[in-house]
Amino acid sequence: MTIKAEEISAQQDAWKDFETHRVAEQKRLSFQRPRKVGNVLAQLVSLRGYAQIRISAEQEVAWQAVVGPELSSITQFSKLRGGTMNVTVANSLLMQELIFRKEELLTRLQAELPAAGIRHLRFKVGKIISPQSETKKMDGST
């Protein structure tokens, strides 16, 4: 091999090495590239569960609208999972009343929240937490 060929080979090796290091450095620093604010916010909402909180609040409002003001103070939407809406009620007598009206309530809920896919209602007796007491807990007041 001549000196000229050796120099060319050394330059090619240097360029390959440079390219390898450049690509590795680019991958390492890729997290520092600017990202669209919309993408960052969407990721934040997804990670923190803010969308779920909003959806849950909408479902709570729909439940209150369906049962009316007199029953909304002694019942509380708990969760919606797998097409079953779980509702906490203040006592067993009220639970029997709601079980008796289950089909009517289900039909009205399906009309209020068509995208939620509610297929069943499940009631359980438990403690009803008023929105005012939740707000006080969050504020730190008594």
Of 86-90, 97-101, 115-119, the range with the lowest mean pLDDT is 115-119
Give me Rg for the CA atoms of the chain: 30
Q: What CATH number belongs to 53-128?
A: 3.30.300.180
| Angle at 7 (CA atoms; ends 5, 11), nearest 5 degrees | 115
Residue 83's region, left for phi above 0, alpha for psi from -120 to 50, else beta, is: left
Q: What percent of the chain has pLDDT over 90?
A: 32
Q: How many CB atoms lie within 10 A of CB 8?
A: 12
pLDDT on residue 135 = 46
pTM: 0.56
Q: What confidence tens digit (pLDDT) does each residue in 46-88 have?
A: 666 665 566 678 888 988 999 998 998 899 988 888 889 999 9
